[in-house]
A = this chain, B = another copy of it.
Amino acid sequence: MEKITARNNDKIKYACSLAASASKRRESGEFLLEGARLCSDAARSGVEIVRAFFTADAVSDYAQYVRAVEAVCGECFEISGEVARKLSDTGTPQGVFCVCGMKDHSPAPLKEGGRYLMLENVQDPSNLGAILRTAEALGIDAVIVSGGCDIYNPKALRAAMGSSLRVDIITPDDPVSFIGSNSGGGIHFLACVPSADALEIGNAVKDFSGGTTVCVLGNEGNGLTKETIDACDVRVTIPMRGRAESLNVSAAAAIAAWELVR
């Protein structure tokens, strides 16, 4: 395995830029994945692995995981601990990194009877990752992610614990046109809002249970935009009782996903 010890090596600089910049990821269609388990999950889930970096310690400590990556990746490099620390998003890197190709996230027709979550401008990568993990665990058909933090942000990837690589994800350019071009024909969009006069979410999901249902959740601070609420079929809510101003968006998404699939 060729060895890289220089922190300013071009391949390392490129990998760092993928971790640091959403626009770099968008331009290139590639992202950086970190962690022995996550990288081997990616290899096993059919994610395209363009290039891999391992420290010598990782090759022995995480031998099984490293082998799973090597099996599908032609271009593997050994890196020094110093280079690993430069690539890493954590304080204590495991020393396993992959440059991966993104899957296709372009809008596809929603499934008849499908159950979907849609997110508008969710900013916090930990929230985004947690929602993807919950969506996969509960069996949501796909998550539609519009604006906000991108799914390949290193913190979002870590919080999702591999779900980002397995659950179907659609990333439309604009939420209002996505809703407009999918509405009708038995597909219902439910705007989740913190308003006492909206329909209770469980009852609303039941009302629409014959068709395809999409629960739409908004930004942590500002909720959904007015335009997106107006584009949806109905406003739904999770009733609040305490002095807490609102549920965290990942808690609200867990409850919405649960109501969709129960």
Contact = CB atoms under 8 A, between A and B. Distances in A.
Interface of A: 126, 130, 133-139, 161-163, 166-167, 200, 202, 238, 240-248, 250-252, 254-255, 258, 261-262
B247 A254 contact: yes
B134 A251 contact: yes
A174 B200 CA distance: 38
A237 to B, nearest CB: 12
A248 B130 contact: yes
Nearest to A133: B244
B134 A247 contact: yes
Given A130-B251, A254-B251, A258-B238, A136 B167 contact: no
B136 A242 contact: yes
Given A133-B247, A138-B238, 20 more contacts: A130-B251, A133-B251, A134-B247, A134-B248, A137-B241, A137-B251, A138-B242, A139-B242, A166-B243, A166-B244, A200-B262, A202-B262, A238-B258, A241-B261, A247-B254, A250-B251, A250-B254, A251-B251, A254-B254, A255-B255
Contacts of A241: 137-139, 261
Contact of A244 (B161, B200, B242, B243): B161
A250 B130 CA distance: 9
A167 B240 CA distance: 14
A242 B163 CA distance: 9
Nearest to A135: B242
17 contacts: A130-B250, A134-B251, A136-B243, A137-B240, A137-B241, A137-B247, A137-B251, A138-B241, A139-B242, A162-B244, A166-B242, A200-B262, A238-B258, A250-B254, A251-B251, A254-B254, A258-B258
A184 B98 CA distance: 54
